Amino acid sequence: MSNFPFLSVLTVAPLVGALVVAFLPRHRPELAKQVAFAWSLLVLVLSVVMWVSFKAGGQRFQFHESYSWIPNWGVSFTFAADGIALVMLMLIAVLVPLVILASWHDAESSKRSVPVYFALLLVLECTMIGVFAAADVFLFYVFFEVMLVPMYFLIGSYGGHQRQYAAVKFFLYSLVGGLFMLAAVIGLWVVGGKTFDWQALSQVDISTGTERWLFLGFFLAFAIKAPFFPFHTWLPDAGGAAPAGAAALLVGVLDKVGTFGILRYCLPLFPEASKWFAPWALALGVIGIVYAALLAVGQNDLKRLVSYTSIAHFGFIGVGIFAFTTQAGTGAVLYMLNHGLATGLLFLVVGMLISRRGSSLISDFGGAGKLVPLLAGVLFFAGLASLALPGTAPFISEFLVLIGTFTVNKPVAVIATLGIILAAAYVLWMVQRTTQGTLNPALTEVDGMRRDLNLREKVVVAPLIALIVLLGFFPKPVTDVINPAVQATMDDIGRTDPAPSVGGTVQEAAR
Amino acid sequence: MTELKLPSIDYAAISPILIMLGTALLGVLVEALVPRRWRHVVQLTLALLAVLAALTMVVLSADERIITAGQALAIDGPTLFLQGAILVLAAMALLLIGDRSVERGGAFVAQAAVTAESADDRRQAEGRNGLTEVYPLTTFAIGGMLIFVAANDLLTMFIALEVFSLPLYLLCALARRRRLLSQEAAMKYFLLGAYASAFFLFGVALIYGFTAGIPGRPSGVDFATIHAAVGESPASPVLLFAGMALLAIGLLFKAAAAPFHVWTPDVYQGAPTPVTGFMAACTKVAAFGALLRVFQVAFADANWDFTPVLGAVAVLTMLVGAVLAVTQTDIKRLLAYSSIANAGYLLVGVLAPSRDGLAGTMFYLVAYGFSVLAAFAVVTLVRDDDGEATHLSRWAGLGRRSPFFAALFTFILLAFAGIPLTSGFTSKFAIFGPALEGGQAWLVIAGVLTSMILAFPYLRVVVMMWLSEPGESTPTVTVPGGLTSAALMIGVLATLVLGVAPAPLLDLAAGAAEFVR
């Protein structure tokens, strides 16, 4: 089964589905939804089969495929997945059907075509899978940029308040990053002997000055995409304006392309420059953790609040990556997955609340738990997961990042730990103001608030809750897959973990 | 008295030129002899057949690498590739020019001499058939362009320049509607064009003087002689530098590079849209074909001297085009500034002195030509009672009214913005790659930075079309007849194919990327 061209099929399948859905008659929206949902389930099934046939202890890159594309430039359709990519692909495959299900009625409130909305979601899935599956830098860049187009229309056409502004800002920010990366991609191509193959490029020796410039080109694109402080200002706008489903994908998956790109491209291709820039990157990460958390505390808009919490979490991921230890690296990758699940859930639940109330302002809620107890409970759970309560999956990743960082850089780890306290503050205060306390009388007059979770919504949240709890207690299946890949990445930059020591100082251990 | 020797001429190799010019003359006869109601059909068929025949001859002589007609014409890889490009793009432009389904009587005025804004003018605007003289004018222009990219000495180049410029000046004045704007455009283009031609001619004279000043060498303005003279590295290169600068001004004017670009927005706006498309696509190819030959053949050995200057011009051009595009409110002016910025990118290609650079530049010219023609084809379709609705605010909500055409236009705009899977991306790569390899990192960085600025105006149009609500004044898109549809579909498909599978054309360009000297 491992000879099956999983990655190319997975990439193309959603695109075919999108075409089918887009050409379904506009007056039969139900059919379009059903086809889109079925199609995304198909992709999920295929992904599960791929997960099963991935050999955790085997080669670093598996499912390698390569087809010639533009031989003049040494460009080919090369796909390959390591453990990190595999985990992200699974996350996409799980999230997309749930998002489709959660967005069942989202497109109807806008006056736009419903089939097109679901077609755009599937196109987005295609580009997201492609970007994680590509093992050719050119191909990666193509997916990286094309990804903007469906997201742009999802936000711009189907979003809420200020959607035009948010869509354009999102597009321009990402495009700016992408163009810097384009310059670096071309530079890499020139110094790398006119090939785009990742494996060949990772063997190339680059002079120090050039390497730093190329690193910067890539890093800037990824830092905008992730986004790290101070390139983050587009995310609250985009996350706030996007329809909840699209926002879940935007923050849950799309932004991981940035951190994934750093792990896959910046570190292995430019190891020296990565080490040289690491203090700066760590600083950005730490500032992001604290700064975004503080901003999150002050938000009155639910979706913007969740967006800011994500920026804080990306700070953790950044710290985990640039700490250069296997523990922290594994933690960062695990964080990418867990954050996708937890924040995905949070966005979807918040979306359910907002669609009921017709407003995304926290001040418009209050005591909602008395009307919709189940929904309030799920919101509480999602909040706890997102503040990394022990027993939920994010706890493990956050803990790994912190102890992995602590062994090499105590100050950073200590400041980052402050982020946990702030996380408790913004999550609990948000939950308190929306669902606890005295009932806001205005809520009782809104029809939507009388309906608790229906079956469709229960089906959406149940798998995510189950996964978060499961991975919170038993992360081994995932860490087994991630660990070798992170180890290989650390080998690429020539870092080994400090040996564990009992009673000795860290300096001694590092010797 | 020495015997006058006639130069030998390879008629097969120059047959595309002869076909186009012959057809143009024939077209003049048709005007005189064929009854009025048949002229349109006859002229259009004749012009299209001629383009087809010329294209066939170009394809048949694809392996020709000679200099013929004395030293006047070089038929080599770049010439044939660019001639082919001009002919294909011209065929598309002719389809747009010949269309009479979008506007009754076509996009051209019925009687050019009618006073603008008079009662006569209003009557002719209402649907009398347009002039058919546009076809011989266009074929003359195409013929001139074919000579221009093949010219191997400066005098031939100058004559070709005039042969294709004069008809263009006239064509600009022939818009059916907004006669004043159109006449103003033609006048500006003519005056500035004449001025630029004078610069060019002065440059030729100085270069002649330069070659004559080198002892023991023949003097002349053919490229082999100039090349040899430049290689001699004389004591005082003042004549060379002055001549080179003046020649460059003449050529950069046609290429619409800053600071010689000021005519572009006015002319693009005032000219009949099919003619604008023709200029944006074919004139660009011709102008850059000539620039490539002059700077990579004749002045190749002086590249240390001209690269910084042309590089600065390139940066300025990209910057001016991109920044001013941001402020435009008229779609034709926006496309004009975008075309200026693209001239800047093309100059980056001209300054990458390698086979790859030459191939990349030629690829870019073809890819851009297809996209820009498709863009102007869409512009002809968005109309109200008063002709084309070119003000951007009128395009609000177009995506709701006519999703299909808005989608096509969005695709073209994404190509201009350089999004992958469109020819806009592959062509940028084709130019920036060799430029970086040639050590012109600063030009590539300038190119990337201006691309960012330039993305904004394109995006603004997309926002207008899709994310704004259609207003009272949003015009409908006219469903075009066969001719415009064909041109539009060819342009869009080429933009897609060259973005997804550029390898065949890249191969072709790489195989053709060597000048005969």
- Residues A168, B459: C-beta atoms closer than 8 Å: yes
Measured distance CA(A450)–CA(A303) in Å, rounded: 22
Q: How far is B317 from chain A (nearest CA, A)?
A: 19
- Kindly identify which residue of chain B lies nearest to residue A165, measuring between CA atoms: B463
What is the reported pLDDT for B73?
92
What is the reported pLDDT for A247?
86
> Counting Cβ atoms within 10 Å, is residue A455 exposed (0-12), middle (13-18) or buried (19+)?
exposed
A439 touches chain B (CB under 8 A): no
Interface test with A, best of B456, B462, B498, B506 (most A CBs within 10 A): B462
A110 touches chain B (CB under 8 A): no
Q: How far is A116 from chain B (nearest CA, A)?
A: 12
Measured distance CA(A306)–CA(A309) in Å, rounded: 5
- Residues A190, B436: C-beta atoms closer than 8 Å: yes
Buried/exposed code over B435-447 (b: 16+ C-beta within 10 A; e: otherwise): bbbbebbebbbbb
- Residues A141, B456: C-beta atoms closer than 8 Å: no
What is the reported pLDDT for A505?
46
- Residues A175, B421: C-beta atoms closer than 8 Å: no
What is the reported pLDDT for A497?
65
- Residues B467, A146: C-beta atoms closer than 8 Å: no
- Kindly identify which residue of chain A lies nearest to residue B429, measuring between CA atoms: A186
Which of these, A128, A172, A177, lies nearest to A150 by C-alpha position?
A128
| Residue A266, C-beta contacts closer than 8 angstroms, at least 6 positions apart | A215, A218, A219, A222, A273, A274
Mode of pairing for the β-strands spanning A75-81 and A62-70 = antiparallel
- What type of residue is B212? A
Q: How far is B419 from chain A (nearest CA, A)?
A: 6
A19 touches chain B (CB under 8 A): no
Contacts of B421 in chain A (CB under 8 A): 142, 146
What is the reported pLDDT for A239?
83
Percent of residues, chain A, with pLDDT higher than 70: 96
Residues (pLDDT < 70) of chain B are: 1-2, 233-235
pLDDT band at A506 (very low <50, low <70, confident <90, very high): very low
A42 touches chain B (CB under 8 A): no
Measured distance CA(A107)–CA(A121) in Å, rounded: 11
Q: How far is B341 from chain A (nearest CA, A)?
A: 16
- Kindly identify which residue of chain A lies nearest to residue B397, measuring between CA atoms: A157
pLDDT band at A510 (very low <50, low <70, confident <90, very high): very low
> Counting Cβ atoms within 10 Å, is residue B488 exposed (0-12), middle (13-18) or buried (19+)?
buried
A148 touches chain B (CB under 8 A): yes
Q: How far is A10 from chain B (nearest CA, A)?
A: 19
* Mean pLDDT in residue range A196-206: 84
ipTM for the predicted complex: 0.88
- Residues A69, B448: C-beta atoms closer than 8 Å: no
What is the reported pLDDT for A508?
44
Which of these, B108, B138, B129, lies nearest to B47 by C-alpha position?
B138
Interface test with A, best of B414, B422, B437, B448 (most A CBs within 10 A): B448
What does the block give as tokens for A445? Answer: 């007059």
Contacts of A157 in chain B (CB under 8 A): 466-467
* pLDDT averaged over every residue in chain A: 86
What is the reported pLDDT for B469?
77
Q: How far is B444 from chain A (nearest CA, A)?
A: 7
Measured distance CA(A360)–CA(B486) in Å, rounded: 49
SS3 A500: coil
Angle in degrees, 0-180, between the axes of helices A29-53 and A83-102, rounded to the nearest 10 = 160
- Residues B433, A183: C-beta atoms closer than 8 Å: no
- In angstroms, what CA-CA distances link B67 with A349, B58, B79? 74, 15, 11
Contact A223, A333 (CB under 8 A): no
What is the reported pLDDT for A511?
42
Contact B423, B498 (CB under 8 A): yes
Query: Which of A149, A172, A186 minimises the CB distance to B433?
Result: A186
Q: What residue spans define the domains of chain A?
A: 6-510
| Residue A16, C-beta contacts closer than 8 angstroms, at least 6 positions apart | none
- Residues B448, A179: C-beta atoms closer than 8 Å: yes
What is the reported pLDDT for B195?
92
Identify the helix (H) or strand (E) that includes residue B383: strand B382-384
Between A493 and A215, residue with greater pLDDT: A215
Total residues found in chain B within this entry: 517
User: Which of A220-229, A456-465, B137-146, B382-391 is predicted with the least confidence, judged by mean pLDDT?
Assistant: B382-391
Which of these, A177, A185, A180, lies nearest to A138 by C-alpha position?
A185
Q: What is the pLDDT of residues A310-363, one digit of tens each?
A: 898 898 899 999 988 888 888 899 999 999 899 889 988 888 888 888 888 888
Contacts of A172 in chain B (CB under 8 A): 452, 455-456, 459
Contacts of A189 in chain B (CB under 8 A): 433
- Residues B432, A153: C-beta atoms closer than 8 Å: no
- In angstroms, what CA-CA distances link B160 with A188, B17, B199, B295? 42, 11, 15, 18
Measured distance CA(B335)–CA(B269) in Å, rounded: 9
Alpha helices in B213-330 (DSSP H): 223-231, 238-255, 263-270, 273-278, 284-293, 303-326
- Residues B437, A190: C-beta atoms closer than 8 Å: yes
Which of these, A454, B35, B318, B37, lies nearest to B310 by C-alpha position?
B318
Measured distance CA(A319)–CA(A278) in Å, rounded: 9
Contacts of B467 in chain A (CB under 8 A): 156-157, 163-164, 167
Cis peptide before B237 (omega within 30 of 0): no
- Residues A145, B429: C-beta atoms closer than 8 Å: no
- Residues B452, A175: C-beta atoms closer than 8 Å: yes
Interface test with B, best of A144, A170, A175 (most B CBs within 10 A): A175
Measured distance CA(B88)–CA(A388) in Å, rounded: 63
Q: What is the pLDDT of residues A261-317, one digit of tens each?
A: 998 888 888 888 888 898 999 999 999 999 989 898 888 888 888 889 889 889 889
User: Which of A367-371, A414-418, A492-496, B404-408 is predicted with the least confidence, judged by mean pLDDT?
Assistant: A492-496
Contact A361, A300 (CB under 8 A): yes
SS3 B153: strand
CB pairs < 8 Å spanning A and B: 80
Mean pLDDT comparison of A131-140, A477-486, B98-107, highest-scoring range: A131-140
Q: How far is B363 from chain A (nearest CA, A)?
A: 13
In which order are the strands placed within the sheet that holds B382-384? B387-388, B382-384, B476-477
Measured distance CA(B395)–CA(B458) in Å, rounded: 13
What is the reported pLDDT for A452?
81
